[in-house]
Structures are given as C-alpha cells and as structure tokens.
C-alpha cells in the first residue's frame, strides 16, 4: 500500500472515529428511546469501521490501530471539519449524519473498486453496514426536509465537507483531550 493510499484510508478512519465519538454523545439523551438505541449503535459501528481501517494502515506502517487512533497529536488528524463539531441540536446532528452518509457512500463505492483486495474487501464489508446508516439518515431526511431549522442546518454544514483536512477547530482539541486522556494517563507502551 503506497503512502497516498495510506493517507486516504487514514482520512476515512479519522472521519469515522471522530464522528463515532460525536454521535455517541447522544447516548442516553437522544430525543426518543428507540432513537437512542439506533443512534448509539450507528456511533459504535463508525468506531468499528475506524478500527478496521486503522488496522490496515497499521499493518503497512508497522504500528497498531490504537497507536494511530490515539497517539497522534490533534493537528495530525485528517478528518473533515464536519465531523468534529459538537452539535447537541438534533436537527444539526441529523443534517450532519445525512450529509456525511451521502459523501461516505460515494467514497466507499470508489474504495470497493480498489486494486488492493484487502481494501476492496473491507470497503464492501463496511458498506453493508453503512446501508443501515443510510436508511436511517434517509428516513430522518424525509421527515425533516421541510422544516426550516433542518434546511438551515444543512446549508450551514454542507460547505464544511469541502474544506481542507489540515486545519481544525478548537473543538477537535477538546475532543482529542477527552478521547485520549485515559491512554495518556499511563506511560507509553502500557499493556491495557
């Protein structure tokens, strides 16, 4: 796997890890109990996808998935700015979810055609799970598409998809701090 391919997989893995984190902030406080179960499960799926992608890159780089996920500095993450924002408004969360799933579907289709059988195979596996996420995003989209608060959220968040992945907001620093605090509390190389 060449450096360019590794970078692409890292981008996707970072997106999935950070979005999984943000989505999991709804666990226990989603607007409906059924939604809490569904959305928490989606969050967990995303983190699972991140882990599988990190593992592929880690193998190429002689490191570990955990090392890639948690031992880099915030400015080394290559996630989209869209996923790092702390959005505790349901309409914004759903707007992000829908925008992300659409973009992710396009990206996965390309990845499924990769020459690397490991990458293509993993993309196909991830896509089978993402099908549920898209179904979930679509049902909410259908329900909210005429709500001004929802369409405003879409307009506000859509441009973030095209912004660069080198620069991040302070919200990523805060998330990184939370996400890695336990790991950083122990000396490097600790066996968990």
Partner 1 sequence: MIYEVFRQERKGQPYQHAGSIEAANDTFADVYAREQYGRRGESASLWIVARDSVIEIDEFVDELNRNYHRVDGYSLKEKLREARERAGTAAPAADR
**Residue ranges in contact with partner 1 by CB under 8 A:** 32-35, 37-38, 41, 132, 135-136, 139, 142-143
Q: How far is the CB of 42 from partner 1 (least distance, A)?
A: 9
Q: Which of 26, 22, 65, 20 is nearest to 46 (CA)?
A: 20
Q: Which is nearer to partner 1, 10 or 30 (CB)?
A: 30
Assign 3-state DSSP to the chain and report helix, strand, coil percentages, each to 5.
75, 0, 25
Q: How far is the CB of 98 from partner 1 (least distance, A)?
A: 14
Gap between the Cα atoms of 117 and 139, Å rounded: 33
Could you give phi then psi for residue 85, rounded to 5 degrees?
A: -70, 140
Q: Which is nearer to partner 1, 3 or 34 (CB)?
A: 34
Q: How far is the CB of 172 from partner 1 (least distance, A)?
A: 29
Gap between the Cα atoms of 27 and 172, Å rounded: 20
Q: How far is the CB of 136 from partner 1 (least distance, A)?
A: 5
Question: Does residue 19 contact residue 46 with C-beta atoms inside 8 Å?
Answer: yes
Q: How far is the CB of 138 from partner 1 (least distance, A)?
A: 9
Q: Which is nearer to partner 1, 27 or 41 (CB)?
A: 41
Three-state DSSP at 82 gives helix
Q: Which is nearer to partner 1, 43 or 56 (CB)?
A: 43
Gap between the Cα atoms of 105 and 134, Å rounded: 8
Q: Which of 146, 76, 140, 51 is nearest to 102 (CA)?
A: 140
Q: Which is nearer to partner 1, 139 or 182 (CB)?
A: 139
């Amino acid at each position: 796997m060449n450096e360019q391919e590794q970078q692409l997989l890292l981008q996707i893995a970072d997106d999935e890890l950070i979005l999984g984190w943000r989505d999991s902030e709804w666990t226990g406080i989603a607007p409906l109990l059924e939604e809490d179960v569904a959305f928490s499960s989606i969050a967990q799926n995303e983190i699972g996808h991140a882990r599988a992608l990190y593992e592929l890159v880690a193998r190429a780089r002689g490191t570990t998935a955990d090392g890639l996920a948690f031992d880099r500095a915030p400015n080394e993450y290559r996630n989209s700015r869209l996923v790092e924002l702390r959005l505790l408004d349901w309409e914004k969360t759903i707007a992000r979810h829908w925008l992300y799933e659409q973009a992710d579907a396009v990206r996965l289709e390309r990845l499924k055609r990769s020459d690397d059988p490991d990458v293509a195979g993993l993309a196909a596996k991830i896509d089978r799970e993402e099908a549920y996420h898209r179904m979930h995003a679509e049902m909410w989209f259908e329900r909210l598409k005429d709500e001004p608060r929802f369409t405003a959220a879409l307009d506000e968040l859509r441009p973030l998809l095209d912004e660069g992945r080198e620069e991040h907001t302070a919200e990523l620093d805060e998330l990184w701090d939370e996400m890695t605090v336990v790991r950083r509390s122990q000396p490097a190389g600790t066996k968990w």
